[in-house]
Structures are given as C-alpha cells and as structure tokens.
Amino acid sequence: MAETTSGLALFQQSHARLLQQFLELERQQLPPDVIDLQLMDIAEAIVRDHNTSALIAGELRLTDEEEREFRSNVRGLMGGGALMPLLEREDVENIHILGHDRVILSLANGDRIPGPALAGSEEELVMMIRHLAATAGHTSRRFDTAAPILDLRLASGHRLFAVTAVAERTSIVIRRHRMLQSSLERLEKSGTVTAPMIEVLRAAVRPPNPANMLVVGGTGAGKTTLLRSLLSEVPQSELIVTIEDTLELHLRSSGLHERTLALETRTANTEGLGEISMYDLCRAALRMSPDRVIVGEVRGGEVMQLLQSMGIGNDGSLGTIHAGSTRAAINKMLIYAQRSPDSPTPDSVLREISEVLHLLVYIKKLPDGRRAVTSIREVVGYEEGRVVTSEVFAPGPDGVGVYTRPFKADGEPLARLVSAGFDPRVLGEPYRPGPHVPRAQLAPARPMPAQPAPVPPAHARTVPGRPQPPDRLPGPYGQRPKGPAPVPPGRPAPAPSQRPAAPAQANPAQARPPAQTAPAKARPPAQANPAKARPPAQTAPAKARPPAQANPAKARPPGQTAPVPAERAR
C-alpha cells in the first residue's frame, strides 16, 4: 500500500506541471503522437529528478512498480484520466458533464448523484476532450470551433458525445455499456424478457431460415444490449458485417462473435472531404458477401440499403430504430426512406417492408427503472396501401410483454420460426384479461356514516320571542308551504271569492248534441260592413260623372243619349 501511495503522491505533486505542459502542446496543434512522446519525456524527467533528490536526502527511490503506476497515471491524463474513476464504476450508467465544474452521475437504480469536477477550467476540459477525439477513437476526429460536435467511442468501449462553441458551456455525455457480455439468459434474469419471448427470439435468429428483425425503442431503452444478445445466438461460422455511426456492439472484442467486420462512419476533414456516411457503408457491405448485415442505428436513407440487403438473401439481418412503438417504426422507416438518394415512392417502400421484414421487437424503460420487451409484432403482408401487422406479444399488467395472439398459421414469420425448431405450443394459451367483476362484489358494502343535520340558512332560523315571518314555516330550510299563505295574527281573513262556480260545460258554444254538427256562424248583412252593404237584388250603381267635369269636349245636350254600338244593337 505504501508503494502505491508513493507513486500516486508523485503524480499528484507533478499533476499541475504535466497538465500545463499538455495544454501548451495542444495549443501548438501538434500531432497527437508527438504530444504523447513529449509528455512522456517530461514524465521520465520528473521520475529521474525525484529519484536523484531522494538519494541525496537519504530517502528511498521509487520502485519499478511505483514508476509503472506513475507512467500509467500520466497516460491516463493524456487520455482523459480524470474520467477513468467514473468509467470504472459498475453502478454508473450515464455521466453528464455540464461544464468543467459540474458532473451528474446516473446510476443503474435510477438515482442521480453529483460527481467530482473533471477540470479546472473550460479550456482544460476542451483540451482533454480534443486529445481523446484524436487518439481514443477508431478514427481520428476533430473537436474545435470549426467542428464543435463530437461523437466518439472510447478505448473502453463506452460512447462519448460532446458539444462546444455552440453551447453556453462545454457539455459531455458518456454512456457506459454495463453488459458487454450479453445473452438472452442474462436478460431473462434481469426481467427484460420472458421464457416464451426467448423461444421466439432464439428461433428467429437461428438458421436455416432466420428472420429479418428490427429492434425498436427510445433513447437509453436498451436496444444495443438486446441486439448484442440476439447476435450471441448466431453461429460462429457466419460472417457478420456491422455498420455503426460509432462502434458500440463490440462483438469480436467481447467474445460474442469472432467472424465480425465492424465498419464505422467518418466525418469530413477541414476541406469538407473524406466523409463516409452510413449510406456509403451499407452499399459497401453488400459487396463483402456477408451472411448478415447489422445496422447499429437506422436514421436516414441507409434504411433502403438495409431493406435491399434483407431482400437479396442476407436473411437474419438486424437493425435498431428510434420509435415510440412497433407500429410507429414502420412510419419512421417510410420517412427515412424519403431521404435516400434513390428517391423511392412511398408505395414501393411499404411493399418492400412487407416483403422482407418479418418481426418488430419493442423495448422500453419502465417507470421503476427496469428495461423490458413489451411488444413483438409480426409483419403479415401488404393491403390497400399499408403494411398489415399482428401484435403477438403485447404489454401485460406489469408492463412486460405477454403472449396475446398466435402467429398467423400461413404467415412467413411462423414458417421461419418452425424451420429453426420452434414449437408454437410452448407459448401456451394467449393471455386474456379476467372477466369483469361488479364493483359490489369486490368488497362488502360498508354502511354510510351518519350525516349531521343540515344547518338552516340565517334567514330561515327562528329567534325566541320573535314571531315567524308570515311567508315562511318553521323548518331547516324555511320552505314555503303549498296552498294559501298563512294569515298573520290580527289580520282578517280574506273574503271568499264571489265568482260563481262554472257549470259542468266549460264552453256552452262548444257543447252540442252528439249527432249535431256545429251551426254555421251567420253574419247579418247590415252589421258585417255598413259601408259595403247593399240590397241583395240591387247591383252596384254606376258611378255618375257630371257632364261638365267628365270631359268638356265630349259633352252632349241633356236630351240626347249616347249612340249604341253596332255589335250591342244586334
């Protein structure tokens, strides 16, 4: 213990000097390997000075083990040494760095706790991440104001995402892969999958006719872990080509599959040249004669290359996609396909999905922190401009998927599962919710507690020694009684109504014998309208016009009559 402490103490004493030299070399924009060599030379000089001073003072020099410990700490400083203690914690899932002085650790149990500061300033933090980008990844990457976004895989296999210049403070997120040695059995022990699901998933990836599948879920749901577990069931004799934006599967390094060819995208250089996209890698993978093509995350036009790979005989190809459900994943694929340079029509994309894709598996993070497969959906076919699917496993009462519907008897997914030795009878009977129980039978009825008497309103309460208002009666609410109002004392009672009682027939005009019809209402001629009344036999007299006033030009002598027209005379 003393030897380790001495080596660590020397590193702590020289940490400020080493860090200052490291930042100075970074500012000179030297190549990463040159920076490493010069910094190690400085470290060797520190060790020699310490041993010389110890001999002069009569103290013990550093042992070989202490010198190796010191050099290891120096290399850790160049490769993000401040991150190493956090990355080595098995209970940490994600590390959120919000500036140089604020660190938040997301634990596996769902808790979030503060962590130690990683750097003394923003500049120091940027320098550390810049060196990681140049040395730790599969390919060298930039991290500066011209390229402020970094997506990187660390040497330990964890994924780092950083952003600077376009953010208020340099921010970093590191996702730790806690289950590199994944398997379906381990997922069953953790409650992610059930035994019936394992039977389906294991048969889906095994030869001779493996199914093409897509793992669906949100960010941090466990898609990569589930995909890695599925690939652990693939025979070692098959050649697998993986295509990822940032390497995360690690099939060969973790011992899951030896015959693996891992491809990773590359960003452009300062001149904007040299970019290798997911679409380019998918096209290149088809020329490598793989047995299976695995796309780590489908999020663009590469979905068409994946579908093409599934359709040309690379059965058992897999991929992951971000979506809220298995049904929504099909719409996401249609949207991504429109970004392809091939510019396919929506109908052709849906038809190809229905022909080459067989299963959709949805995994999510439950509210209690567990990750569980909640849905498995089979692709049945194409009908009326849509992809027809059937949900075989659906969310159960506890959130984990349960067997709810059998596979289509004549469907291709079931035929592929059966070819691998799958027996549908192992699934048992489909889950059905229990019968509805009336509420009265769930628990014995409890007597209602006695309710207190209602308090009457203030205007209805009686006051001792004061007469009750004449329009109210004593009572809790002072309701007005039906019938005539009570007579207050000292007031004479109203006289009874003098109106005689109506006869039995309410309307004499309407009363008639049963066989007699109502007589017509006669109106006297003189009383109807005196202005228009005339004798019955008398016609209306002609209007007399004075001769002088009618027309002076046509006036005649008094004894002369008007001539009769010839037609009327005949």
266 DSSP 8-state letter = B
Cis preceding-peptide flag for 32 (omega within 30 of 0): no
Q: Please give the distance of CA 519 from its chain centroid, rounded to a whole number.
A: 83
- The SS3 assignment for 131 reads helix
pLDDT attached to residue 521: 54
pLDDT attached to residue 480: 52
- The SS3 assignment for 234 reads coil
**How do beta strands 260-264 and 112-115 pair?**
unpaired
The pLDDT-based confidence of 214 (bands split at 50, 70, 90) is very high
Burial class (CB in 10 A: 0-12, 13-18, 19+), 107: middle
212 or 268, which is more confident: 212
Helix (H) or strand (E) holding 263: strand 260-264
44 or 500, which is more confident: 44
Considering only CA atoms, which of 154, 122, 126 is closest in space to residue 142? 126
Check the CA dihedral 51-54-58-63 and report its sign: negative
Lowest mean pLDDT among 70-74, 287-291, 304-308, 396-400: 70-74
- The SS3 assignment for 186 reads helix
Please report where in the chains the tokens 């083990």 appear, as a residue. 65
With 70 as the cut, is the pLDDT of residue 527 above it?
no
| Angle between helix 326-337 and 346-356 (nearest 10) | 130
pLDDT attached to residue 109: 79
* Best-predicted range by mean pLDDT (126-130, 237-241, 517-521): 237-241
pLDDT attached to residue 431: 82
How confident is the model over 186-196, as a mean pLDDT?
Answer: 93
Lowest mean pLDDT among 11-20, 38-47, 84-93, 386-395: 11-20
Strand order in 92-98's β-sheet? Answer: 112-115, 103-107, 92-98, 171-175, 159-163, 149-153
Lowest mean pLDDT among 281-285, 289-293, 548-552: 548-552
Cα–Cα distance measured from residue 37 to residue 170, given in angstroms and rounded to the nearest whole number:
28
How confident is the model over 539-567, as a mean pLDDT?
Answer: 51
**Fold entry, domain 184-425:** Rossmann fold (3.40.50)
- 384-403 burial, b at 16+ Cβ within 10 Å, e below that, comes to eeebebebbbbbbeeebbbb
Please report where in the chains the tokens 């997911």 appear, as a residue. 278
How confident is the model over 384-392, as a mean pLDDT?
Answer: 93
pLDDT attached to residue 436: 46
pLDDT attached to residue 329: 95
Q: Which amino acid is at 86?
A: L
pLDDT attached to residue 463: 55
Distances (CA, A) of 561 to 489, 556, 564: 96, 8, 9
With 70 as the cut, is the pLDDT of residue 272 above it?
yes
Please give the full DSSP string across 306-368, using - where no structure is assigned: HHHHHHTT-TT-EEEEE-SSHHHHHHHHHHHHTTSTT---HHHHHHHHHHH--EEEEEEE-TT
CATH of the domain spanning 86-178: 3.30.450.90
Share of the chain above pLDDT 90, in %: 32
pLDDT attached to residue 57: 85
463 or 360, which is more confident: 360
pLDDT attached to residue 5: 45
Q: How far apart are the first and last CA of the chain?
A: 158
Mean pLDDT of the chain: 78
Considering only CA atoms, which of 134, 385, 372, 155 is closest in space to residue 247? 155
Supply 523's token pair: 């109106």
How confident is the model over 395-421, as a mean pLDDT?
Answer: 93
How confident is the model over 428-436, as a mean pLDDT?
Answer: 72
Cα–Cα distance measured from residue 329 to residue 341, given in angstroms and rounded to the nearest whole number:
21
Where on the phi/psi map is residue 85: left (φ > 0), alpha (ψ -120 to 50), or beta? Answer: alpha
The values of phi and psi at residue 155, to 5°, are -60, -25
Supply 76's token pair: 């850790």
pLDDT attached to residue 439: 43
How confident is the model over 466-495, as a mean pLDDT?
Answer: 55
Taking only Cα atoms into account, the Rg of the chain, rounded to an integer number of angstroms, comes to 49
Contact 332, 322 (CB under 8 A): yes
Give the pTM.
0.62
Q: What angle do CA 22, 26, 32 make, to 5 degrees?
A: 90
With 70 as the cut, is the pLDDT of residue 495 above it?
no
The pLDDT-based confidence of 561 (bands split at 50, 70, 90) is low
568 or 329, which is more confident: 329
With 50 as the cut, is the pLDDT of residue 442 above it?
no
pLDDT digit string (tens) for 139-171? 667 788 888 888 887 777 788 899 998 888 999
